[in-house]
Amino acid sequence: MREKSAICIAGGGSTFTPGIVLMLVENQDRFPISKITLYDNNAERQDKLAEACAIMLKEKAPEIEFNWTTDPETAFTGIDFVMAHIRVGLYAMRELDEKIPLKYGVVGQETCGPGGMAYGMRSIGPVIEILDYMEKYSPNAWMLNYSNPAAIVAEATRRLRPGHRIINICDMPVGLETNMCSIIKDETGRELTRNDMEIRYYGLNHFGWWTQIQDKEGNDLMPILKKHISEMGYANNSPEFQHRDPSWVETYTKAKDVYALDPETVPNTYLKYYLYPDFVVEHSDPNYTRANEVMDGREKTVFGQAKAIVENGTSKGNEFAVGVHASFIVDLACALKFNTHERMLLIVPNEGAIENFDPTAMVEIPCLVGSNGPEPLKIGDIPTFQRGLMTEQVCVEKLVVEAWIEHSYQKMWQAITLSKTVPSGKVAKQILDELIEANKDFWPELK
Ligand code: NAD
Ligand code: LMR
């Protein structure tokens, strides 16, 4: 019988919380749980989801103790893992992150470009606060952080809390690998899961490339994927793809042009924001962005389901959906708890894994994960194109963190100017000044 874990989910009011709770329930055999506590600083938002989760848990796993709270000591005492997915400023601020740059003809996106930097400046302090609570009340616990923007948050924790028990993760490669399985099915009829593939990948968060994808027998799957991606990007016939929101359909399809720039590798979709920013801006509606799509879609759906569960007193007929990233989080928790040495893509300090790249950069690369944490695998040298792009982007991320630490207007202006998504220092300044005004309740005062 495997030892049980006590979990705190930070960002209890997140649209992803019910899916994570359900995923934990469904994985009891490999990752048994004694207790789940939700923690949020917004009691009203959290209550709505927590009351529904309580009903669902009573029906599906009454043996799990379930609580929710806004008190850090209650939340973080006696736990083994914090699973953190906070969104500082909620969707209202995401909307501004997207719409302010777009006013100036610049990409408006949750994690890429000036919007991502604005979100980073909001997220650094609260993520570190949660890490500190965890270390105060449960010093041996691990924090699995998937609060965005993961690249900036990861760099901030490297700088401000080096060596601490936090692992930064992202579901984007997991989602794309699942999608690759659908492509292989479309192209060959063969049914694979993500875990049947052996991959090599390197990059920064939301900014990377696959260099190898093969099955467990060593057969190269790259030629099938490359042919498909060169013709139609990541678009495919799976129900999962067909039900994607319009903005995601466009992102998956645009991967065709991202791929064309380097046919040696298979790209992460978010590279479109850096390599084709003009296309992205032309295809954005400055009055209705991804934040609006999510508020009208996932947020309404999840909170609507929760309301129905509470009103009906049962979760029957209102099952929450489990996202792709949920299983990845359980895999990671299992690897840490049971020393499985599973191979996973994580955001870790480079420290020589990519030889011809900044050793202090936070990179996304395969690691073996055991009870002592991640051991990064060696990547070797990367080509000039990728090294150039990554060098620019990692400096943007470092400048944002320096701006936050030093309260430096100059560094934030440099960061925005340096981003590949921004045309000039003039436009960067206009965007920055408007972002400062919009974020005055969240950012440190820049001098
Ligand atoms: P959401 O707005 O629905 O939920 C976020 C919750 O965090 C809210 O309830 C909010 O009150 C809470 N929160 C904000 N600041 C807090 C603080 N200081 N302390 C405690 N709680 C706080 O957002 P969402 O769309 O569900 O996304 C949540 C996060 O997960 C985002 O950062 C999103 O980008 C991220 N995400 C990451 C991945 C990944 O794989 N890396 C995948 C999906 C979503
Ligand atoms: C997206 O825009 O799809 C991601 O940021 C996650 C989400 O749905 O909010």
What pLDDT was estimated at residue 186? 94
Q: Report the nearest atom of ligand 2 relative to the CA of 290.
A: 2
Q: Is the pLDDT of residue 406 over 90?
A: yes
Per residue in 295-315, pLDDT tens? 999 999 999 999 999 999 999
In this structure, the residue with its CA closest to atom 1 of ligand 2 is 290
The answer to whether 337 and 373 are in contact (CB under 8 A) is: no
The answer to whether 256 and 229 are in contact (CB under 8 A) is: yes
Q: Residues 177-196: what's their mean pLDDT?
A: 95
Q: Is the pLDDT of residue 240 over 90?
A: no
pLDDT band at 61 (very low <50, low <70, confident <90, very high): very high
R_g of the chain computed on alpha carbons: 21
Catalytic one of 270, 273, 274, 331: 270
- Cα–Cα separations (whole angstroms), residue 194 to 119, 202, 210, 326, 338: 30, 17, 14, 14, 21
Q: Residues 344-352: what's their mean pLDDT?
A: 97
Angle at 295 between CA 96 and CA 204, to 5 degrees: 60
Q: Residues 311-324: what's their mean pLDDT?
A: 90
Q: Is the pLDDT of residue 125 over 90?
A: yes
What pLDDT was estimated at residue 97? 98
State whether the beta carbon of 273 lies less than 6 angstroms from ligand 1.
no
Q: Which ligand lies nearest to the CA atom of residue 175 in the structure?
A: 1
Helix then strand count (H, E) for the chain reads: 18, 12
Q: Residues 194-223: what's their mean pLDDT?
A: 97
Per residue in 134-144, pLDDT tens? 999 999 999 99
Q: Residues 105-111: what's their mean pLDDT?
A: 98
Q: Complex ipTM above 0.90? A: yes
409 is catalytic: no
Catalytic one of 40, 80, 97, 171: 171
d(CA 300, CA 416): 33
What pLDDT was estimated at residue 336? 97
Is residue 200 within a helix (H) or strand (E), and if so which, with residue range?
strand 197-204
Bridge-based pairing state of the strands 197-204 and 207-215: antiparallel
pLDDT band at 327 (very low <50, low <70, confident <90, very high): confident
The answer to whether 28 and 330 are in contact (CB under 8 A) is: no
Answer yes or no: pTM beyond 0.90.
Answer: yes
Angle at 354 between CA 348 and CA 359, to 5 degrees: 65
Q: Residues 107-129: what's their mean pLDDT?
A: 98
171 is catalytic: yes
User: Over pLDDT 70: what percentage of the chain?
Assistant: 100
Per residue in 30-44, pLDDT tens? 999 999 999 999 999
pLDDT band at 243 (very low <50, low <70, confident <90, very high): confident
Q: Is the pLDDT of residue 73 over 80?
A: yes
Per residue in 152-161, pLDDT tens? 999 999 999 9
What are the two backbone dihedrals, phi and then psi, of residue 80, each rounded to the nearest 5 degrees? Answer: -105, -35
